[in-house]
Amino acid sequence: MSVFRFVIPGRLPGLNEVNAANRSNIYAGASQKKAETKRCALACAALPDFDRPGGIKPPVVVRITWHEADWRRDFDNITSAKKFILDGLVKSRKLENDSRRFVAGGSDILPPPDKKNPRIEVEIEEVCA
């Protein structure tokens, strides 16, 4: 059983920002989704590939620690961005799919804010099936 880790610098848009982009015009939401998914895919580039020996083997559990810069955003607003992270793992071919056969579960942790270094720490743990 292996654990793979990577960090996404800064923060990702929350649900309120995603909804605002979707309502602003017909292309803004799609553009935001594409950009943030790509950003997450690039952040996990150092992970081993899913389909190579020694790569990530499903099913996995994904633990995300959200280091925000302040207390302003709510838990549900922040954690909705896991959509970008999981889609980024698939886009980068680190996971074959983000369906329940491949991602068995996960958890979200929001420690006190880190004003100097906001980031998102992602841990992917293989689960013995």
In this predicted structure, what is the pLDDT of residue 61? 97
What is the rounded CA–CA span in Å between residue 96 and residue 22?
A: 28
59 close to 96: Cβ distance less than 8 angstroms: no
CB count within 10 Å of CB 24 equals 11
Structure tokens at 51: 């389909």
What mean pLDDT, rounded, does the chain reach? 93
pLDDT digits (tens, 9 = 90+) for 5-15: 999 999 999 99
Do the bridges between strand 119-126 and strand 3-9 make them parallel or antiparallel, or are there none, so unpaired? antiparallel
Q: pLDDT at residue 23 above 80?
A: yes
Mean pLDDT to the nearest integer, 95-101? 93
pLDDT digits (tens, 9 = 90+) for 33-92: 999 999 999 999 888 887 777 788 899 999 999 999 999 999 999 999 999 999 999 999
pTM: 0.93
In this predicted structure, what is the pLDDT of residue 129? 60
